[in-house]
Amino acid sequence: MGIGVTSLTPKPTTAVNSRWRRIVTPIPVPQSVPMLQRLRASEPRSMAGMPPILWHDAEGFLVRDPFGNQWIDLTSGIVLANAGHSHPRILAAIRRATDQRLLATYAFASEARLRLLEKLVALAPIPDAKAILFSAGTEATECAIMLMRRHGQQFHRDKVGILSLSGNYHGRTLGAQLASGTKQPADWIERERVYHFQIPSPDCLRCPWGRREYDGCGSTCFQKGLESLVQRGVDLERIAGIILEPVPGWTTRPIPSDFAEAAAGWAKQHDVLLAFDEIQCGCGRTGKFFGCEHLGVAPDLIVLGKGLSSSLPVSAVIGRGEILDRPEPGEMSSTHGGNPVCAAAALENLQVIQDEQLVEAAARTGAVVLERLQSLRREFPERVSCVGGVGLFLSVHLRCPGKKNPDVALADVVAEEAVRRGVLMFPTGRGYLKFTPPLCIDPEAAMEAVDVIHQCLLEKMES
């Protein structure tokens, strides 16, 4: 599994001209190919997996190239533009910030950082919270891991172990990759040597313990995960923290609340901290501001990114003051963390999400889209193994005919074909289609996008 390098050979398209979609050239656009090739020559292969279109401008839920093509965006530019691309209020806030002539401040005080931090602390379902700002999501993940390890060391020197879930994703820096449930980290660093352990995700469709369906077994699932570690000789007293996605980007469904409750209960009993990675599922994406609101479980730490600004790089760790206050001055900061322009963009973004009631919009539009996507499962039960999600965090999982294993090729070819018809999607390399448009998407445009997916699925299954 994995995504391949996309072809740069132009293929003809059928012209599309709807209210929102416009396709007037072959894809990739022949004039764009030299530039795409220069990009390939200048950056590594790891960057060559996205559909070969040249982004020029993006507005709301639409993305345009410079050649007259326009797409309904189901990617939100990798699940970040929650308030919509180039929101006029966010653009204005960025302009005001740059006009102030203050482009960087490091850890020196600034009003922009203060206002964003106060907003985050007020939003968080964590009492006596403080927050710290970074740029990339992975930096915030790394900070949460460091805080959990340092918290553990108060109890004894070796209490630094981190527990994460297979199939979750937390970023690309070292600690974040160790926490991510992909196979790659094992290739270049042995997780368990640095006391990082994984237990199976409570993914009920592919139950790691072989159950047919969920029957209130979340707590047992968590306990079995711990038992499997003990059987391998892991000393659970050395665990300092648990990090997980409350609504994983891979399934887009909240994990069972009894699993989360069991994790939180065990953590409390054993002086272990619980961190929720809300970088993808937070900021209204799931129809609630925080994904963990679906679970009714509050963690010790929350990690945010992506939809926190819908634009410039901003991430954050929010947590109980006593946890965040452990590092001494100078031990936890980042050159660009709380950059005044980025902070202004993030603050305005949070206000837009509130004023335009985008959390409610995500819940409303998502429910209608989910219902329509579920009809795909009814229509193609042999090929669609599951459709699920919450808010505008939805996914359609495809399988090989009559089998359980994901149909990676079909999912990626459907995503590619949708792009050729004016619906922007990305290949997942794992056999599913992800439906994550900006939360401001017009419901009719969302339904039009589902119709395109339906048509592509129908044609590609037959070919």
**Which of 383, 434 has the CB closer to ligand PLP?**
434
Q: Is 315 exposed, middle or buried (0-12, 13-18, 19+ CB in 10 A)?
A: buried
Q: Which of 137, 202, 246, 340 binds ligand PLP (CB under 6 A)?
A: 137
Whether residue 199 contacts residue 165, with contact meaning beta carbons closer than 8 Å, is answered with: yes
Q: Which stretch binds ligand PLP (CB under 6 A): 55-63, 89-97, 110-118, 130-138?
A: 130-138
Whether residue 131 contacts residue 308, with contact meaning beta carbons closer than 8 Å, is answered with: no
Whether residue 200 contacts residue 225, with contact meaning beta carbons closer than 8 Å, is answered with: yes
Q: Which stretch binds ligand PLP (CB under 6 A): 133-141, 367-375, 392-400, 419-427?
A: 133-141
**Which of 93, 145 has the CB closer to ligand PLP?**
145
Positions in 17-36 near ligand PLP (CB under 6 A): none
Q: How far is the CB of 21 from ligand PLP (least distance, A)?
A: 26
Tokens 């609340």 correspond to what residue?
257
Q: How far is the CB of 120 from ligand PLP (least distance, A)?
A: 17
**Which of 249, 406 has the CB closer to ligand PLP?**
249
Instruction: Check binding of 170 to ligand PLP (CB under 6 A).
Output: yes
**Which of 258, 277 has the CB closer to ligand PLP?**
277
Instruction: Check binding of 301 to ligand PLP (CB under 6 A).
Output: no
Q: How far is the CB of 176 from ligand PLP (least distance, A)?
A: 6
Q: Which stretch binds ligand PLP (CB under 6 A): 48-56, 92-100, 168-176, 196-204?
A: 168-176
Q: Which stretch binds ligand PLP (CB under 6 A): 24-32, 52-60, 163-171, 283-291?
A: 163-171
Amino acid occupying residue 102? L
How many residues touch ligand PLP under the rule CB under 6 A: the total is: 13
Instruction: Check binding of 425 to ligand PLP (CB under 6 A).
Output: no
**Which of 28, 200 has the CB closer to ligand PLP?**
200
Q: How far is the CB of 444 from ligand PLP (least distance, A)?
A: 28
**Which of 13, 138 has the CB closer to ligand PLP?**
138
Q: How far is the CB of 278 from ligand PLP (least distance, A)?
A: 8
**Which of 70, 280 has the CB closer to ligand PLP?**
280
The distance from CA 5 to its chain's CA centroid, rounded to whole angstroms, is: 22
DSSP string, 203-269: -GGG-TT--SS-SS-HHHHHHHHHHHHHHTT--GGGEEEEEE-SS-TTT-SPPPHHHHHHHHHHHHH
Candidates 200, 203, 208, 194; CA nearest to 162 is 194
Instruction: Check binding of 312 to ligand PLP (CB under 6 A).
Output: no
Whether residue 312 contacts residue 280, with contact meaning beta carbons closer than 8 Å, is answered with: no
**How many whole angstroms separate alpha carbon 246 and alpha carbon 299?**
10
**How many whole angstroms separate alpha carbon 69 and alpha carbon 347?**
32
**How many whole angstroms separate alpha carbon 275 and alpha carbon 296?**
14
Instruction: Check binding of 171 to ligand PLP (CB under 6 A).
Output: yes
Residue nearest to ligand PLP (CB): 137
Instruction: Check binding of 305 to ligand PLP (CB under 6 A).
Output: yes
Residue 30: asked if its preceding bond is cis (omega within 30°), the reply is no
- Non-local (6+) Cβ contacts of 221 within 8 A are 200, 202, 208, 209, 256, 259, 262
**How many whole angstroms separate alpha carbon 206 and alpha carbon 169?**
18
Q: Is 120 exposed, middle or buried (0-12, 13-18, 19+ CB in 10 A)?
A: buried
**How many whole angstroms separate alpha carbon 64 and alpha carbon 256?**
39
Positions in 226-255 near ligand PLP (CB under 6 A): 245, 249
Cα dihedral 367→370→371→375 (10° resolution): 180
Q: How far is the CB of 140 from ligand PLP (least distance, A)?
A: 8
Q: How far is the CB of 145 from ligand PLP (least distance, A)?
A: 12
**How many whole angstroms separate alpha carbon 359 and alpha carbon 338?**
25
Q: Residues 269-298 vs ligand PLP: string with x where CB under 6 A? A: --------x-xx------------------
Q: Which stretch binds ligand PLP (CB under 6 A): 137-145, 264-272, 379-387, 403-411?
A: 137-145
Q: Which of 6, 70, 138, 198 binds ligand PLP (CB under 6 A)?
A: 138
Q: Write out the residues near ligand PLP by the rule CB under 6 A.
A: 136-138, 141, 169-171, 245, 249, 277, 279-280, 305
